[in-house]
């Protein structure tokens, strides 16, 4: 998605560089990502940042790995749950100003659900397969552009519809996510409100632009929300 992305082979090792014109309307996203990445657990190291010639450039330590599988028989599920457990315990860096998840999704929260998405934990919010890498030292999270403050269980909860889309029945996906302590200990009522909120959010995005992946996630989120309704 970057205007410029490249892997550099340097004397001190490989560096992944992403860049954007400094006057781009989305330049703030790159600045935000760099500030959060510098404080985020399991993120690639931010090595340097520079501005010149009308461009913003950010150099990150390159990570060697593969994208994980969310399938029911995947050996990646336990390491993924461990990685999300680490992230779920990390507070939002107070020096970074960002609209919280509760504000981002406010118009999709069902009536009576106000406050269910409040939280000050560092939430990645976009931990799909292509933003995760299984490396020799464990699972790492990349691309923190959409990160924001949220409940400690945010990323584990967002994992559930992705697990459903990968073939898990809703109850099984719920049990897999319960390997993340923050999700296991979360208030079921808040999770149910979140499930309905996420379904409404993805349904809105799918209506605007029905990409195949969005359709699958919307259907999975609907199954998750329905399962919570039946459980309640």
State the Cα angle at 147 between 143 and 150, rounded to 5°. 150
What is the C-alpha separation between 37 and 16, in angstroms, rounded?
14
CATH of the domain at 11: 3.30.200.20
4 touches 11 (CB < 8 A)? no
Provide the CATH number for the domain around residue 112.
3.90.1200.10
Q: Considering the domain boundaries, does residue 71 fall inside one?
A: no
136 domain residue, yes or no:
yes
Q: How many domains does the chain have?
A: 2
In a domain, 72, yes or no: no
Q: Examine residue 192 and state whether it is found in any structural domain, yes or no.
A: yes
Q: In percent, how much of the chain has pLDDT > 90? A: 95
Q: Are residues 85 and 190 in the same domain?
A: yes
Residue 66, in any domain of the structure: no
Q: Supply the pLDDT for residue 228.
A: 80
Say if residue 174 is in the same domain as residue 143: yes
Same domain, yes or no, for 22 and 46? Answer: yes
pLDDT at 231 (0 to 100) = 60
Scored b (16 or more CB within 10 A) or e, 220-232 reads bbbbbbebbeeee
Q: What is the dihedral of CA 47, 52, 53, 55, to 10 degrees?
A: 50
Is 16 among the domain residues?
yes
In this prediction, the residues of the chain whose per-residue pLDDT falls under 70 are: 229-232
Spatial CA neighbour of 121 closest among 148, 84, 142:
148
> Is 169 within the bounds of a domain?
yes
Q: Which domain holds residue 31?
A: 4-61
Q: What is the pLDDT of residues 54-84, one digit of tens each?
A: 999 999 999 999 999 999 999 999 999 999 9
Same domain, 54 and 101: no
Residue 70 lies in a domain: no
Are 45 and 117 within one domain?
no
Could you tell me which of 41, 46, 138, 44 has the C-alpha nearest to residue 90?
Answer: 41
Bridge partner residues of 182 (DSSP): none
């Amino acid at each position: 998605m970057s205007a410029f992305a490249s892997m550099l082979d340097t004397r001190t090792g490989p560096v992944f560089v992403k860049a954007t014109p400094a006057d781009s309307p989305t330049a703030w996203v790159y600045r935000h990502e760099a500030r959060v990445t510098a404080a985020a657990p399991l993120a690639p190291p931010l090595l340097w940042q520079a501005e010149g010639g009308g461009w913003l450039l950010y150099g990150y330590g390159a990570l060697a790995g593969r994208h994980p599988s969310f399938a029911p028989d995947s050996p990646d599920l336990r390491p993924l749950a461990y990685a999300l457990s680490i992230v779920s315990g990390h507070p939002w860096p107070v020096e970074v100003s960002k609209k919280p998840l509760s504000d981002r999704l406010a118009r999709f929260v069902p009536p009576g659900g106000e406050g269910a998405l409040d939280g000050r934990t560092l939430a990645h919010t976009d931990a799909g397969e292509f933003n995760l890498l299984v490396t020799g030292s464990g699972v790492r999270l990349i691309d923190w552009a959409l990160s924001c403050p949220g409940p400690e269980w945010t990323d584990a909860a967002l994992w559930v519809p992705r697990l459903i889309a990968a073939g898990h029945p809703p109850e099984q996906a719920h049990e897999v996510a319960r390997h993340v302590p923050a999700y296991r200990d979360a208030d079921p009522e808040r999770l149910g409100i979140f499930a309905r909120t996420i379904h409404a959010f993805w349904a809105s995005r799918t209506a605007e632009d029905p990409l195949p992946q969005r359709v699958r996630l919307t259907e999975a989120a609907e199954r998750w929300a329905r399962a919570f309704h039946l459980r309640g």
